[in-house]
Amino acid sequence: MRAMPLLLLAVYASSYLDRQIFSLLLEPIRLDLNFTDLEVGLVSGLAFSIVYAVGLIPAGYLAARSNRRNLVALSALLWGAMTVACGLATSFWQLVSARAAMALSEAGAVPGSHSLLSDGAVEQNRLKAFGRFMTGPSIGGVLAVFIGGVIGQAYGWRSAMIVAGVLGSVPGLLLFLAREPSRAYWSEAKEAETASPPEPSRFRDVARTILGNPAAWLVTVAEATNQIVVAGAVVWYPAFLMRVHGFSPTQTAALITVASLLAISGTLLSSRFIQRLSSRRQAWLAWGPAVLIAVTKPFAAVFLLSDQPAVFLAAFLVPAAFFLSTYAPTISLIHGAVSPGQRPLASALLLSLATVTGMGVGPALVGWASSIVGNGDGASLRFSLVGLQAVGLVACMLYWLAGRRLDSDRSETGLTQAATASSPNSRR
């Protein structure tokens, strides 16, 4: 079991290698296949997000009922093959089909990975476990930068996609060497013939549990809203640097590498810091993400609006360091609000909503706004990305309201316990 978190991290990183290399190569793909900005937004966002969101629900059921290790490993092999297929595509519809198949395979790994991590960590360390796990996108981003920037510039975007797909399959193969752990909430009485695991919860039961917990559904909506900004930025920032500031693919790759390395440190540090605060006051599981979003917005505005290299480069590093830091406390809070058997479907619900609103809306919204405002030039893309940042303020407000609700629930619980302790019956 000790190797399981590291292998899950490697698998998660490989999924983002295959996902983010597409964003890094977006401009060469657009020019080679003669796509409009709207088509780029659709193939990079909507084609992926809809299938990913739909696939998460059955994946949650499978993770709750079957061997999670096999499910995650097979999913990794499939998305590696689909990344290779993206590199072989010659038309819009071929690329859309390959991206959709990649999304379906990636959806198969997430609920099982979250369930394995959450079951293997005590409640006090759950946020740290997910914090380490959430460095996967940054690690995958560094690999995507190297493969997309170096191989892409030397041999073309198709070769880079094929190499990424082959390398992305390796962690899936290694995961087959790990042992599927027993579920802590299932009966361990192997000698009793009647002992059997309880029936896992249905999706509507999980949804009802989350909707019945105001803090849980508020952070769910908050994270989904925040992902609109994150997905739009991840997809369009490389193109923004090339169009507005004249960056080459190699220069763009170098900047994203630095940002990804910072994001690893930022995610780990913020998770540890929020874990300490939330151990004393649970509301910080929601207030932490709210503060992180609020602090990074001014820096994002400077990055998008400034034309001074030293200024916009320095400003870019701050939001880049914390752009993944909201996920770990959000998942930790939601997993704490549901039973262990409900965790795979709870993760599926969160990520399904976040993907539809994030990847489905974010990249397409930026592409649409850029096409409407101008002809897809640097000025129109800058305008659309600046407007996108306002959506993050809505997420910030929702997180803050969730923290207030957690604080209110804690106060009510404390008053109830105090009243019970002081009642005459309690002293008898």
Grade residue 419 by pLDDT with cuts at 50, 70 and 90.
Answer: very low
Per-residue confidence (pLDDT) for residue 117, from 0 to 100: 86
- Amino acid present at 296: T
Query: In terms of pLDDT, which residue wins out, 255 or 182?
Result: 255
pLDDT at 399: 97
Judged against a pLDDT cut of 90, whether residue 308 lies above it is answered with yes
CB atoms within 10 A of CB 94: 14
Tokens of 114: 């979250």
Could you report the per-residue pLDDT of 170-196, keeping only the tens digit for each?
999 999 888 877 665 554 434 344 444
Lookup result for tokens 């400003």: 315
d(CA 197, CA 34): 54
Q: What average pLDDT does range 81-108 have in this prediction? A: 89
Instruction: Give the helix ranges, DSSP H, for 309-342.
Output: 309-322, 327-337
Closest CA to 221 of 397, 409, 405: 397
The residues, any chain, with a CB within 8 Å of residue 26's CB and separated by 6 or more, are 40, 44, 235, 236, 238, 239
CA distance 259 to 221: 27
- The 8-class DSSP code of residue 427 comes to G
Q: Give the relative orientation of helices 3-24 and 110-120 as an angle to the nearest 10 degrees.
A: 150
Position 48 confidence tier, pLDDT thresholds 50, 70, 90: confident
CA 299 to chain centre: 22
Task: Tell me the helix, strand and coil percentages in the chain, rounded to 5.
Answer: 85, 0, 15
Amino acid 189: pLDDT: 36
Query: Which residues touch 258 (CB under 8 Å, ≥6 apart)?
Result: 317
Unique residue bearing structure tokens 């005590």: 122
List of residues 6+ apart from 151 with CB closer than 8 A: 159, 160, 163
Report the C-alpha gap between 351 and 130 in whole angstroms: 14
161 CA to centre of own chain: 21
Cα dihedral 95, 100, 104, 110 in deg (nearest 10): 80
347-351 mean pLDDT: 87
Among 425, 361, 305, 353, which Cα is nearest to 42's?
361
* Residues 117-121: contacts with CB under 8 Å, at least 24 apart: 117/5, 117/8, 118/335, 118/340, 118/343, 119/181, 119/183, 119/184, 119/185, 119/340, 119/343, 120/1, 120/4, 120/5, 120/181
Smallest CA-to-CA distance from 320 within 190, 230, 413 is with 230
CA-nearest of 330, 260, 257 to 293 is 330
Residue 37, pLDDT > 50, answer yes
Tell me the average pLDDT across 49-69: 86
* Structure tokens, 50: 């809809």
* Listed ranges 41-55, 139-153, 378-392; the one with the highest mean pLDDT: 378-392
386 burial via Cβ count (<10 Å: 0-12, 13-18, 19+)? middle
Question: What's the pLDDT score for residue 184?
Answer: 54
Residue 116 CA to residue 111 CA, distance in Å, equals 9
Q: For 215-243, what is each residue's pLDDT tens digit?
A: 999 999 999 999 999 989 988 888 899 88
Contacts of 267 (CB under 8 A, 6+ apart): 131, 134, 135, 138, 322, 324, 325, 328
> Do residues 321 and 262 touch, judged by C-beta distance below 8 A?
yes
At residue 374, the 3 state secondary structure works out as coil
CA-CA-CA-CA dihedral for 41, 46, 47, 53, to nearest 10: 150
Q: Identify the DSSP state of 283.
A: T
- What is the structure's pLDDT at 289? 96
